[in-house]
């Protein structure tokens, strides 16, 4: 990954390249910002620039260091991430990281470690990380990535230079999905309005929609006048993830907005009352981490009755 291949994030990238060019890169960086916007790609590009042997501010892609990194065998780059099926990054991973950082670089001028999902580091893991942050091994670079930086200990946060990453513009989301990933326009149209500037979210939704066999909009049409027995499986279907539940609710809002005749006052009143129910549910979903199945059943039931 090269900086030049990253879509968006011009400001943090310019900062990083300047720091690289003047050899003033902090020993620990915290990449903070919403999930699915490309923080990890920038971290990958930075780690690659650090171990590239041409010592420029972007990656050459051709030196032995770059080739080893591309093959996933570079000895001076380590990625710490959430183990599959776990909810926390355990302390053992940070112990491995500390061990890695203590040793001299083998090939590059300095070592680089990416700590993905840093907000999921267990408390013990964060305390173990603190040691490395307080007495950084010479030349080591640590990049912490967090979409919920508040979950990190203040002592961890304060020892990192924080870089804020913002959601992408809709043109940039399109550039990622269509330009970089070559996704068909009709597939993009189905999910991009719900991406909130996060290509990762659009991709996750696309995957969910893809494996469903039936477009979500068709499924939601069944709400009209449905009985309780038919609403339960519908709620089960859309409660599989928070993103999918939000997607269903946002789709309903859109549907009310796009299909209501502005000249029909009675219809506008009905649509507004339905929209209120959906907006309230969306807020509950985002703020309170509710039981999604029960929440959707309740919303669908209220909508089906109206
Ligand atoms: Zn190189």
> pLDDT of the chain along its 306 residues, tens only?
899 999 999 999 999 999 998 989 999 999 999 999 999 999 999 999 999 998 777 889 899 999 999 898 999 999 999 998 888 999 999 999 999 998 899 989 899 999 999 999 999 999 999 988 988 888 899 999 999 899 999 999 999 999 999 999 999 999 999 988 898 888 888 888 888 899 998 888 888 777 666 777 778 887 877 788 888 988 998 898 888 898 889 889 888 888 888 888 888 898 899 999 999 999 998 887 889 999 999 999 998 876
CA of 109 from ligand 1 middle (Å) equals 12
CA of 65 from ligand 1 middle (Å) equals 6
Task: Please report the pLDDT score of residue 293 as a whole number.
Answer: 94
CA of 160 from ligand 1 middle (Å) equals 27
CA of 147 from ligand 1 middle (Å) equals 30
CB atoms within 10 A of CB 54: 13
Residue 78 φ then ψ, to 5°: -130, 140
CA of 167 from ligand 1 middle (Å) equals 29
Does pTM top 0.95 for this prediction?
no
CB atoms within 10 A of CB 117: 18
Task: Please report the pLDDT score of residue 58 as a whole number.
Answer: 82
Task: Please report the pLDDT score of residue 209 as a whole number.
Answer: 74
CA of 50 from ligand 1 middle (Å) equals 9
Task: Please report the pLDDT score of residue 170 as a whole number.
Answer: 92
CA of 29 from ligand 1 middle (Å) equals 22
117: left (phi over 0), alpha (psi -120 to 50) or beta: left
- 300: DSSP letter: H
Task: Please report the pLDDT score of residue 173 as a whole number.
Answer: 94
Task: Please report the pLDDT score of residue 219 as a whole number.
Answer: 80
CA of 22 from ligand 1 middle (Å) equals 18
CA of 48 from ligand 1 middle (Å) equals 8
CA of 53 from ligand 1 middle (Å) equals 5
Output the 3-class SS for 98-138.
HHHHHCCCCCCCCCEEEECCHHHECHHHHHHHHHHHHCCCC
DSSP string computed for 226-281: --HHHHHHHHHHHTSSHHHHHHHHHHHHHHHHHHS-TT-HHHHHHHHHHHHHHHHH
Task: Please report the pLDDT score of residue 38 as a whole number.
Answer: 95
CA of 66 from ligand 1 middle (Å) equals 4
CA of 18 from ligand 1 middle (Å) equals 18
Q: Taking Cα atoms as reference points, which of 242, 188, 193 lies closest to residue 210?
A: 188
Task: Please report the pLDDT score of residue 119 as a whole number.
Answer: 94
Q: What is the CA radius of gyration of the chain?
A: 23
Please report which helix (H) or strand (E) contains residue 46, including its range.
helix 39-51
Task: Please report the pLDDT score of residue 212 as a whole number.
Answer: 66
CA of 56 from ligand 1 middle (Å) equals 8
CA of 64 from ligand 1 middle (Å) equals 7
CA of 176 from ligand 1 middle (Å) equals 24
């Amino acid at each position: 990954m090269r900086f030049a291949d990253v879509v968006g994030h011009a400001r943090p990238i310019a900062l990083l390249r300047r720091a690289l060019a003047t050899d003033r890169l902090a020993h620990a960086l915290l990449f903070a910002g919403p999930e699915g916007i490309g923080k990890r790609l920038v971290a990958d590009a930075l780690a690659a620039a650090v171990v590239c042997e041409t010592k420029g501010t972007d990656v050459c892609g051709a030196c032995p260091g770059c080739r080893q990194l591309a093959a996933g065998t570079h000895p001076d780059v380590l990625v710490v991430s959430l183990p599959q099926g776990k909810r926390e990054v355990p302390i053992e991973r940070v112990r491995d990281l500390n061990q890695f950082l203590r040793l001299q670089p083998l090939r590059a001028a300095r070592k680089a470690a990416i700590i993905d999902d840093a907000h999921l580091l267990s408390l013990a893991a964060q305390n173990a990380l603190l040691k490395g942050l307080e007495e950084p091994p010479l030349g080591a670079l640590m990049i912490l990535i967090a979409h919920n930086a508040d979950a990190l200990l203040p002592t961890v946060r304060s020892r990192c230079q924080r870089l804020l990453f913002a959601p992408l513009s809709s043109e940039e989301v399109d550039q990622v999905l269509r330009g970089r990933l070559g996704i068909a326009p009709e597939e993009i149209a189905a999910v991009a309005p719900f991406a909130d500037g996060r290509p990762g979210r659009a991709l996750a939704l696309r995957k969910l929609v893809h494996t469903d066999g039936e477009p979500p909009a068709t499924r939601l049409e069944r709400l009209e006048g449905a009985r309780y027995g038919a609403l339960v499986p519908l709620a089960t279907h859309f409660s599989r993830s928070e993103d999918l539940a939000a997607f269903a609710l946002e789709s309903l809002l859109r549907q009310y907005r796009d299909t209501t005749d502005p000249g029909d006052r009675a219809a506008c009143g009905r649509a507004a009352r339905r929209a209120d129910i959906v907006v309230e549910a969306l807020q509950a979903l985002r703020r309170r981490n509710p039981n999604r199945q029960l929440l959707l059943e309740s919303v669908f039931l209220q909508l089906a009755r109206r």
